[in-house]
Chain A
Amino acid sequence: MWNQVGQALNTSMVRVLSQFASLLPGILALIVALLFSAVIAWIIAALLRRSLASIDFDRRLPQWGFPTIAEWSPSHSPTLLVTRAIVAIVIIIGFLVGVSAFDMSLTSELVLRLFDYLPNLLAALIVLVFGTVIARFVSRSVLIGAVNMNLQYAQLLSAGVKWLVMVLAVAMALEHVGIGGGIIRLAFGILFGGIVLALALAVGLGSKELVTRSLEREATRTAQSTHEPVGHL
């Protein structure tokens, strides 16, 4: 009986070892692919960093209407953010190549799904970028307009409008990516309504006195100013 047990153990050990041995080239291929992609990523990152530095990317980006990207970036450097994103993408591609050495069918399916998802991801990114630009533009318009109308709550109005547009953009982006589904729609409705309600309450109740005084004062002064001897041209 002990002979049979020993034989069974031998057989299973041989099977496991041979399966492990069959995996070794795959593991090696994965390591090589990762190392190779890391080297390529490093070269691309170095070239990209240099070319972005030459066009003064960090300084120009806020001027092109994307100041918030600097806030999200590591060390407040959008160049670093872009290069790190590119490095991550190249390494992920290298990882996929390495994984394909184990099982072709699994990787193909993974890659196919990823590419199916890519247009949605891009659309979401575009919506987010445009949403940020529009939010910034509109909030600045509101801020300047409110200050020029001598409204004390200019900042509050401007921030409220900014967050309204941002929430709308994020909800649209998530819808594109397909994350959340109904929950996102519900959450968006609650958030959007919440912001509007908060603004309405702030203006209608919380800041009622302030707004009333502010508007009354402006109305009185506008009426008085028609008799003021000030001319501009």
Chain B
Amino acid sequence: MNIDPATLPFDQELRHFVYDQTMKTGASPTIAETAAALSTSPAEVQASFHRLADAHMLVLQRDTGEILMANPFSAVPTPFLAQVDGRTYYGNCIWDVMGIPAMLRRDAVIQTSCGDCGTSMILRIVNGSLEPAVGIAHFAVPAAQWWADIVFN
């Protein structure tokens, strides 16, 4: 992707805001919230969201243009939940939900379930280490195709 020097500073400021809010609260900001926080217009925010999505730095909800994923975070509830310091965060997959304590550098309890049989799985990250647990992580889509349909993946 070609980076436009004219929009780069704003896109960096916006990305900082999106991640800061998501990391602090567990919820990704809306277009309206982002526009208010950055003292700009919703149209400017939408344009930046799309530039970041084109660069695979965000994934947007198809019909609204709101954030769907600011990886590793999901802006909508998923079956991959991390509890950190009393807050709830959602990941997009098992890899991403483990990425939440990795990014926050905090202990976490991860709740998910087996994608095959539905059995509950609880994982604990303590002091930067994964506590011993039974299970595997299954990747269905080959790496070269991950961004072909990132929502499915």
- The answer to whether A binds B is no
Chain B residues within CB distance 8 Å of chain A: none
